[in-house]
């Protein structure tokens, strides 16, 4: 339970992070964040820990008593969107390209997409944000070991380093708690097939 996920919002209620229950309690206790209930009311640590725990509430035992588990916390002072670097990973390339083949423009499940070197490695192409795109199997076959211009193909958009957005805070394994849904309207999370957790 202490390692399960909590959504972190900035002061403007924009999702900026996913953290653990343990870390969320640290933020609350330090006065850096407030917990949010299902009525969108915010609570500091003393008022949150004084809430009664009923049968339907998730709770943890802290210093000898049961305290409700917050599923969403809001940072008290932080009002920006993090200028965090997006890790160069297979999953994040899928996120950047929205699981769309960058040659034919059609969406595919991740399992049906390859990562393609735009300029093939055999022609000096690097493994970087600027040179890797999602490609479906037929487009990949058609392109073979060529550059797009050599294969008579065009990229849907020029690949580059993505700017951070909330999509990158989630991994495919991140369960979405129902308490998060009202705050995730900036994310098309059904698109990502993220698992909604009761
Ligand atoms: Zn394609």
What pLDDT, on a 0 to 100 scale, did the predictor assign at position 8?
93
C-alpha pair distances (Å), 188 with each of 12, 83, 98, 160, 166: 19, 21, 10, 21, 10
| pLDDT above 90: residue 153 | yes
SS3 per-residue string spanning the chain: CCCCEEEEECCCCCEEEEEEHHHHHHHHHCCCEEEECCCCCEECHHHHHCCCCCCCCCEEEECCEEEECCCEEEECCCCCCCCCCCCCCHHHHHHHCCCECCCCCCECCHHHEEEEECCCHHHCCCCCCCCEEEEEHHHHHHHCCCCHHHHCCCCCCCCCCCCCCHHHHCCCCCCEEHHHHHHCCCCCCCCCCCCEEC
Interval between CA 154 and ligand 1 midpoint (Å): 11
What percent of the chain stands above pLDDT 90? Answer: 56
120-147 residue pLDDT tens? 999 999 999 999 999 999 999 999 999 9
Interval between CA 93 and ligand 1 midpoint (Å): 15
Q: What is the mean pLDDT of the chain?
A: 87
- Ranges 15-19, 147-151, 183-187: which has the least confidence: 183-187
Interval between CA 84 and ligand 1 midpoint (Å): 30
CB 119 within 8 A of CB 158: no
Residue 186 pLDDT grade (very low, low, confident, very high; cuts 50, 70, 90): low
Give the pairing type, strands 113-117 and 132-136.
Answer: antiparallel
Interval between CA 101 and ligand 1 midpoint (Å): 5
What pLDDT, on a 0 to 100 scale, did the predictor assign at position 172?
56
Whole-model pTM: value is 0.68
Interval between CA 147 and ligand 1 midpoint (Å): 15
Interval between CA 122 and ligand 1 midpoint (Å): 21
What pLDDT, on a 0 to 100 scale, did the predictor assign at position 77?
92
Interval between CA 185 and ligand 1 midpoint (Å): 29
Mean pLDDT of 64-71: 89
User: Residue 22: CB partners within 8 Å, gap ≥ 6?
Assistant: 2, 3
Sheet containing strand 15-20, edge to edge, reads 15-20, 5-9, 72-75, 33-36, 42-43
Beta bridge partners of 50: none
Interval between CA 143 and ligand 1 midpoint (Å): 10
Interval between CA 97 and ligand 1 midpoint (Å): 12
Interval between CA 102 and ligand 1 midpoint (Å): 7
Interval between CA 114 and ligand 1 midpoint (Å): 10
Residue 193 pLDDT grade (very low, low, confident, very high; cuts 50, 70, 90): very low
Residue 85 pLDDT grade (very low, low, confident, very high; cuts 50, 70, 90): confident
């Amino acid at each position: 339970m202490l390692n399960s996920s909590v959504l972190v919002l900035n002061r403007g209620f924009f999702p900026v992070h996913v953290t653990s229950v343990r870390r969320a309690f640290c933020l609350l206790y330090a006065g850096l964040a407030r917990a949010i209930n299902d009525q969108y009311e915010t609570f500091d640590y003393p008022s949150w820990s004084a809430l009664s725990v009923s049968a339907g509430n998730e709770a943890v035992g802290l210093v000898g008593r049961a305290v409700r588990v917050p599923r969403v916390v809001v940072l008290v002072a932080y009002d920006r969107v993090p200028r965090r670097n997006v890790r160069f990973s297979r999953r994040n390339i899928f996120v950047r390209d929205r699981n769309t083949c960058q040659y034919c423009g059609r969406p595919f499940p991740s399992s049906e997409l390859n990562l393609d070197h735009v300029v093939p490695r055999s022609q000096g192409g690097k493994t970087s944000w600027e040179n890797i795109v999602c490609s479906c199997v037929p487009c990949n076959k058609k392109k073979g070991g060529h550059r797009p211009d050599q294969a008579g193909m065009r990229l849907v958009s020029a690949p580059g380093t993505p700017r951070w957005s909330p999509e990158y805070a989630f991994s495919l394994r991140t369960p979405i708690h129902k308490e998060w849904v009202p705050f995730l309207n900036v994310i098309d999370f059904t698109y990502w097939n993220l698992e909604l957790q009761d």
